[in-house]
Structure 1
Amino acid sequence: MRPASIGDWFADGFPIPVGDWADAALDWFKDVFEWLLDFVALVIGFLVDGLGDGLLAVPFGVLIVVFALVGWLVRSWQLALGTVITLLLVYSMGQWENAMLTLALVLVAAVIAILIAIPLGILAARNDAFSAAIKPVLDFMQTMPSFVYLIPAVLFFGIGFVPGVFATVLFSLAPGVRFTELGIRGVDSETVEAGQAFGATPGRILRGIQLPLATPTIMAGINQVIMLALSMAVVAGMAGADGLGKEVVQAINTLNISQGVEAGLSVVIVAVFLDRVTAALGNPAEYKSSLIGTLKKRRGAARAAA
């Protein structure tokens, strides 16, 4: 009998227990850092529940007016009017409570992801070795199917809002890091050299030159973080997180078309509002037709007349 070759081993299904290794690693992490996971669950649960209860405690009409004013303040009166109409539609479909719970989950997850992503992006922009090391990790995080993130999330935190936020942060983190690094590296080198020539420290150059000039790119990354967080918040409904995601999951399980359409349309309305507001914050040209832009024009005209 001829000896088995490497090709024969792989043809017979040469076992590489990658899944078992990952399972063991997650179990080890859960056992060793159980205290940390309990603390994270407590903080996230407090933030999401508190924000969700706060949003629901405000009368829906008042909250719609506030959202419309935000849209007018940073974008245009057209966005404000569209916000009023679409949010009234959400309320009329009976999805207002679910929409506010989803908004709370998305905002908490997005803020956590941004607080992690921007420092990592700054570090990657200033350190080539760190940038080279983190890129494969970001590639892995962006290409991993979103449903996979629910496995460690549920293993660590059970079901509810907390695993939804945890999975959402992991899924939406990568664009924030990439755009922050891209924005800082894209700052004109001559401008940075001018700051160095005047004796500015690296910290002052970062705060006074690089971050302000990179703000549009960084805000584009924040916009992408929020959009991914919203898409993942729907998937988090499979982990028991209340909100529009749970409504979509229930509609799929029961083949309830009307429930699915109403929940899905509510997700689209929330997503469009968040997208337009964050996009306007990152693009000064959007202020021209906003309330801020109008006030600036009037102030400029008053100064010119004086």
Structure 2
Amino acid sequence: MDWLSKFPHMDDETLRTLKKAIDDGFRAFTRAYGDTIESFFDPLQFFLVHAERIMVRTPWPAVILVIAFIAWFASRNWKIVTGCVGTLLIVGYFDMWEDTMKTMSMIFVCTVLSIVIGLPIGIAMSRSERLQNTINPVLDVMQTMPSFVYLIPVVMLLGIGKVPGLIAVVIYAIPPMIRLTNLGIRLVDKEVLEAADAFGSSSWQKLRDVQMPLALPTIMAGINQTIMMALAMVVIASMIGVQGLGQPVLKAIANQYFTLGIFNGLAIVGIAIVFDRISQAYGRRLQRHMETVHQ
């Protein structure tokens, strides 16, 4: 009955040999191509460093005014504007302004990168069933893989720093952007596309003038989810050198500083609410506008 208590498995020596071969192969790849891969990401580091520098060095009244203007443009709602401004004032009052600006610059760069990469992939998926069936399992793995696991290959390739953290955050946060872009374009009314065909629109013209505008509310929902997932990854990314609100939380966990962890955790929640309210309000405005145009 021993076979009932023990699941059949690979021989221990064979398993060790297999794991060692994979580990040695990855280390050899890192030694051979690590510097080349690192230099490939130099423009990304330049973008991230300068975005952080601008956010940190800009006077706080100017930052609050810009965010208030963005909130008003997106929502046309004074309650949302007041909530965003109030959140930022509270964050600054509790001496978390600099860390908050570093976190916001990281989220901004992650979101831009996710849009630049995710939008074309989502568009390509919407045009090909085969491509969709190929990429969907990859997205499933990306969304279900424990976030700590992303850090291992990234750190082995690029070491500790901002760029490895940024890459790990993007890998974790980009699937909603790809999925909802694909979904938004596929949900465009077939009758509208037939009308565009009747007017002699090319494939590019249909995408630019019909599919993308009508899919924009759904794409905005994807951007919203990408931002939320990026914020959720901030604390974990702080383990490999990403500065911002995540590092004090990590320090609080290591040293059992209750108030430090709670304050910075609430600051992350506040920033998440600011991003969420602005992006959702803008998505709703786009939805209403598209419904009006469609009618």
Alignment TM-score > 0.5, same fold: yes
> Retained in 2: the 8 A contact 1:30–1:156?
yes
Larger deviation: 11-20 or 168-177?
A: 11-20
Note the C-alpha offset of 1:34: 3.0
TM-score by length of 2: 0.88
Q: Which residue of 1 aligns with 2:48?
A: 48
> Match for residue 177 of structure 1?
178
Query: What's 1:188 paired with?
Result: 189
Report the counterpart of residue 278 of structure 2 in structure 1: 277
Q: What residue in structure 1 maps to residue 153 of structure 2?
A: 152
1:25 offset after TM fit, Å?
5.2
Bigger shift: 25-34 or 58-67? Answer: 25-34
Match of 2:292 in 1: none
Q: What is residue 167 of structure 1 aligned with on the other side?
A: 168
Residue of structure 1 in register with 2:140 after alignment: 139
SS at match of 1:262: helix
Q: Secondary structure at the match of 1:283?
A: helix
Deviation (angstroms), 1:13: 5.5
1:195 aligned partner, one-letter code:
A
The aligned counterpart of 1:304 is: none
8 Å contact from structure 1 (residues 114, 225) kept in 2:
no
- After superposition, the Cα gap between the structure-2 partners of 1:56 and 1:102, relative to the gap in structure 1 and judged at 3 Å, is same
Is the alpha carbon distance of 1:22 and 1:159 closer, same or farther for their aligned partners in structure 2, counting shifts above 3 Å? Answer: same
Query: Gaps (5+ residues) in structure 1?
Result: 289-306
What is the alpha-carbon root mean square deviation over aligned residues? 2.3
Q: Which residue is 1:130 aligned to?
A: 131
Matched ranges for 1:1-306 at <5 A: 10=9, 15-16=14-15, 19-20=19-20, 22-24=22-24, 26-75=26-75, 76-284=77-285
Partner of 2:201: helix, strand, or coil?
Answer: coil
Q: How big is each residue's C-alpha offset from its partner over 1:12-53, in whole Å with a ceiling of 9 and x where there is no partner?
A: 658546754653454354345435422244222211211111
Q: Report if aligned partners of 2:179, 2:222 keep a CA contact under 8 Å in 1.
A: yes
- Asked if the contact 2:217–2:286 (Cα under 8 Å) also holds between the matched residues in 1, the reply is no
Deviations 1:86-120 (A, max 9, x none): 11111111111001001111111111111111100
Structure 1, 274-283 or 247-256: larger mean CA deviation: 274-283
Instruction: Specify whether residues 29 and 183 from structure 1 end up closer, same or farther in structure 2 by C-alpha distance, changes over 3 A only.
Output: farther
Counterpart of 1:30 in structure 2: which amino acid?
Answer: T
In the TM superposition, what is the alpha-carbon distance from 1:63 to its structure 2 partner? 1.2
SS of the residue corresponding to residue 159 of structure 1 reads coil
Q: For structure 1, which segment, 12-21 or 177-186, has the greater mean C-alpha deviation from structure 2 after superposition?
A: 12-21
Query: Residue type of the partner of 1:157?
Result: L
CA distance in 2, matches of 1:148, 1:250: 21
Counterparts of 2:78 and 2:228, CA distance in 1:
23
Amino acid at match of 1:50: H
Q: Do 1:280 and 1:287's aligned partners in 2 also have CA atoms closer than 8 Å? A: no
Change (3 A) 1:215 1:254: same
Give me the whole-angstrom Cα distance separating, in 1, the residues matched to 2:10 and 2:124. Answer: 45
Larger Rg: 1
TM score, norm. by length of structure 1? 0.85
Distance change (3 Å), C-alpha of 1:232 and 1:116 = same
- Match of 1:282, SS? helix
Q: Which residue of 1 aligns with 2:293?
A: none
> Post-superposition shift, 1:8?
8.2
Which residue identity is paired with 1:170?
I
Does the C-alpha gap of structure 1 residues 84 and 27 become closer, same or farther in structure 2, counting only changes over 3 Å?
same
Measure the CA separation in 1 of the matches of 2:26 and 2:273.
36
Secondary structure of the residue aligned to 1:243 is coil
- What is the Cα deviation at residue 164 of structure 1? 0.9
Distance 2:21 2:190 in 1: 45
Note the C-alpha offset of 1:141. 0.3
User: Structure 1 residues 19, 88: closer, same or farther in 2, change over 3 A?
Assistant: farther
Identity of aligned residues (%): 38
The secondary structure found in structure 1 opposite 2:9 is helix
* CA 1:278–1:263: 2 relative to 1, 3 Å: same
Query: How far 1:231 moved relative to its partner?
Result: 1.1
**Contact 2:74–2:285 (8 Å) recurs in 1:** no
Query: Greater CA deviation, 24-33 or 237-246?
Result: 24-33
Q: Distance in 1 between matches of 2:288 and 2:214?
A: 17
